[in-house]
């Protein structure tokens, strides 16, 4: 499986609207020709973030005040997840990553000599539901799967599609489409799971064209 690259970002879109901006782009591409679809879906975020990070944190932003530093700004956060890593931390985030105090997000992070750094593109804000269990569960399955097989990667992403977090559903769907364009054909069981999602009333209408494309190959 070839390394994924980060696709185009939406720095002008606030975190509340980012998911819908991604869906709008997804729908526009779904109606385009195969070449255009491949070009867009090859550039995934979720797989790239997981490959390049050391961990995913679920953390609450403590203060809107930030210390400017080379390549970003430092903010104070309270880490809630994963278990055993909680507590007050200083995190370097991109200059234009729009986060709000007292709000909780998922942050894909790397540890550097100077501390922890969030590796998101500027427009990739990942709000959470509850204590971010959906992100932690997906990461716990997806991260080891990336070193094993595309079948396991696809299986992890399919479970991510059932997340209660809309942004995570969207990113999982885009990543699954990316895996499919890398040449992986879903197993019969995985295709049946996609059909089950298509049949479920709670599956967002905006994701259905993408899911349909996965079982129409």
Mean pLDDT along residues 45-57: 94
pLDDT digits (tens, 9 = 90+) for 155-191: 999 999 988 888 898 899 999 988 888 778 888 999 9
One-character DSSP codes across 145-195:
HTTT-HHHHHHHHHHHTT-S-HHHHHHHHHHHHHHHHTTPPPPHHHHHHHH
Which of 79-106 are b and which e, b meaning 16 or more Cβ less than 10 Å from the residue's Cβ? bbbbeeeeeebebbbbeebbbeeeebbb
| Predicted TM-score (pTM) of this structure | 0.76
In 3D, which of 112, 113, 68, 118 has the Cα closest to residue 91? 118
Evaluate if residue 214 carries a pLDDT over 90: no
Per-chain mean pLDDT for the chain: 79
Confidence band of 217 (pLDDT split at 50, 70, 90): low
pLDDT digits (tens, 9 = 90+) for 189-208: 999 999 999 999 888 888 88
């Amino acid at each position: 499986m070839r390394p994924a690259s980060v696709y185009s970002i939406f720095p002008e879109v606030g975190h509340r609207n980012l998911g819908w901006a991604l869906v709008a782009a997804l729908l526009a591409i779904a109606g385009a020709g195969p070449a255009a679809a491949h070009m867009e879906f090859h550039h995934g975020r979720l797989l790239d973030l997981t490959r390049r990070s050391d961990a995913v944190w679920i953390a609450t932003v403590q203060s809107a005040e930030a210390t400017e530093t080379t390549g970003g700004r430092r903010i104070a956060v309270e880490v809630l997840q994963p278990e055993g890593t909680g507590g007050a931390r200083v995190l370097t985030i991109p200059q234009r990553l729009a986060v709000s105090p007292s709000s909780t997000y998922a942050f894909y992070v790397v540890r550097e000599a100077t501390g922890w750094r969030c590796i998101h593109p500027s427009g990739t804000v990942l709000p959470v539901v509850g204590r971010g269990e959906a992100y932690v569960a997906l990461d716990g399955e997806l991260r080891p799967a990336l070193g094993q097989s595309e079948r396991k990667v696809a299986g992890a992403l399919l479970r991510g599609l059932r997340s209660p977090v809309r942004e995570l559903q969207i990113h999982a769907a885009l990543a699954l489409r990316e895996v499919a364009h890398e040449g992986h054909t879903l197993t019969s069981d995985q295709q049946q799971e996609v059909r089950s999602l298509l049949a479920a009333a709670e599956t967002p209408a905006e994701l259905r064209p993408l899911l349909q494309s996965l079982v129409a190959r």
